[in-house]
């Protein structure tokens, strides 16, 4: 049950982070929380822009924040979408970015709240990954 407890608290961190989302255009707040291999939590939120294409998703914000502080190894990610009533999974671009830094087995938990969350993996969300052997270490 260690994972279930860990995943619940990781999800709660994502949910708290979602309060900081900058989403005045979609009004769809997203928070992401990464569990680092040494047990820290790094969060990110979606940051929109009036030039819509510049929007950064919560998942990529979290990964970029972690990498910017020197962290590249993660053991799970949780994504909270409190404005949806069903689990909203990461977009295609974010799946590619998650695959850069996480193994196929890494758990991905997402939902509007923990009770309605689903748990899957980076490999299930991004199958037939190619060129992973080129990924920087
Ligand atoms: N969004 C994320 O941040 N992550 C997801 O997994 C789905 C979509 C953001 C992008 C945009 O700010 C808003 O949610 C609506 O698409």
CA angle 47, 48, 54 (to 5 degrees): 105
| Paired strand residues for 108 | 77, 120
Would you say the CB of residue 55 lies under 6 angstroms from ligand 1?
A: yes
The pLDDT score that the predictor gives to residue 137 is 61
Local confidence band at 133 (pLDDT 50, 70, 90 cut-offs)? confident
Closest CA to 78 of 19, 30, 124: 30
Tokens of 19: 């309060």
Q: Tell me the percentage of the chain whose pLDDT exceeds 90.
A: 91
Active site residue 115: no
* CA of 6 relative to ligand 1 center, distance in Å: 24
Judge whether residue 111 has pLDDT over 90: yes
Atom of ligand 1 nearest to the CA of 45: 3
Among the listed residues 48, 59, 119, 133, the single catalytic one is 59
Per the listing, tokens 């995943």 go with 7
CA dihedral of 124, 125, 131, 132, whole degrees rounded to 10 = -70
pLDDT digit string (tens) for 16-56?
999 999 999 999 999 999 999 999 999 999 999 999 999 99
Would you say the CB of residue 65 lies under 6 angstroms from ligand 1?
A: no
The pLDDT score that the predictor gives to residue 3 is 87
Q: Characterize 87-105 residue by residue with b for buried, 16 or more Cβ atoms within 10 angstroms of its Cβ, and e for exposed.
A: bbbbeeebbebbbebbeee
CA distance 104 to 119: 13
pLDDT digit string (tens) for 54-83?
999 999 999 999 999 999 999 999 999 999
Side-chain half-sphere exposure of 115, counting CA atoms within 13 A: 1
Would you say the CB of residue 93 lies under 6 angstroms from ligand 1?
A: no
CA distance 51 to 71: 30
């Amino acid at each position: 049950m260690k994972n279930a407890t860990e995943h619940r608290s990781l999800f709660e961190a994502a949910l708290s982070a979602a309060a900081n989302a900058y989403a005045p255009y979609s009004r769809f707040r997203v928070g992401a929380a990464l569990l680092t291999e040494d047990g820290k939590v790094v969060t990110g939120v979606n940051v929109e822009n009036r030039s819509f294409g510049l929007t950064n998703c919560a998942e990529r914000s979290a990964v970029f924040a972690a990498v910017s502080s020197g962290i590249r190894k993660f053991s799970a990610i949780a994504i909270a979408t409190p404005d949806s009533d069903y689990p909203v999974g990461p977009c295609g671009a974010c799946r590619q970015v998650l695959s850069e830094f996480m193994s196929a087995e890494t758990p991905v938990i997402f939902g509007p709240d923990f009770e309605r969350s689903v748990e899957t993996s980076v490999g299930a969300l991004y199958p037939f990954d190619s060129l992973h052997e080129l990924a920087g270490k």
